[in-house]
Amino acid sequence: MFALVRALVYAVLFMGFTLVFLPGQVLRWAGVTRPAHLGAAQFAGVAVEIVGVALALWCIVTFALIGRGTPFPIDPPRRLVVAGPYRYVRNPMYWGAGLALAGAAIFYRSIALAGYALLFVGVMHLFVTLIEERVLGRSFGAEYAEYRRRVRRWWPRRPEERESRHSTQA
């Protein structure tokens, strides 16, 4: 239970800063204000944001309950997390955050916020490839190597591709 509390604190800090505070600063800097009328773009943006936030929260809860830790580097999981959304891609939390940012960019119809979302995705890709994967390899060894072999970094395998890989391993 304590891992869940730690993970939720992390979520508030990370999501609050990265997905609320910084985007708010980008909107303010760009002079973008809340739309006067809600239209199709705003409803689509909210839908994308909800999916993104839900995915990120699912990841955080999975880290706490299965990994017994948090996504925060100073309080990492004690076990390798390969369940929940991590069955499909190795980095679903970044997908969730990216979707939430993209949804906000759609809601506000903001090129500046779309640029921030792209910058976020680029920085996360560099972080994953240059730092995170190495740390996970050192921490979880062969178990992580096997996970990397089975699950892609960003894009899920097609169902028939997952089936054929699974049947060849049996």
Q: Quick one: which of 60, 63, 93 has its CA closest to 81?
A: 63
What pLDDT, in 10s, does the model give residues 106-143?
A: 999 999 999 999 999 999 999 999 999 999 999 999 99
How confident is the model over 29-57, as a mean pLDDT?
95
Q: Which of 61-70, 78-87, 93-102, 125-134 bottoms out in mean pLDDT, i.e. has the lowest?
A: 61-70
**Please, what's the b/e burial string for 91-118 (b: 16 or more CB within 10 A of its CB; e: otherwise)?**
bbbbbbbbbbbbbbbbbbebebbbebbe
Q: What is the DSSP string of 104-164?
A: HHHHHT-HHHHHHHHHHHHHHHHHIIIIIHHHHHHHHHHHHHHHHHHS-SSSPPPHHHHHH
Cα separation values, 114 from 17, 22, 95, 110, Å: 17, 13, 15, 6
Domain tally, the chain: 1
Q: What is the Cα–Cα distance from 17 to 144, expressed in whole angstroms?
A: 30
Residue 156: give the domain boundaries.
2-169
Q: What is the pLDDT of residue 12?
A: 83
Whole-model pTM: value is 0.86
Domain CATH code at residue 101: 1.20.120.1630
* φ, ψ of residue 168 in degrees (nearest 5): -75, -20
Q: What is the mean pLDDT of residues 5-33?
A: 89
Tell me: the pLDDT tens digits for 90-103? Answer: 999 999 999 999 99
| Least reliable range by pLDDT among 11-15, 17-21, 123-127 | 11-15
> What is the CA 151 to chain-centroid distance, rounded?
15
Confidence band, pLDDT 50/70/90 cuts, at residue 170? very low
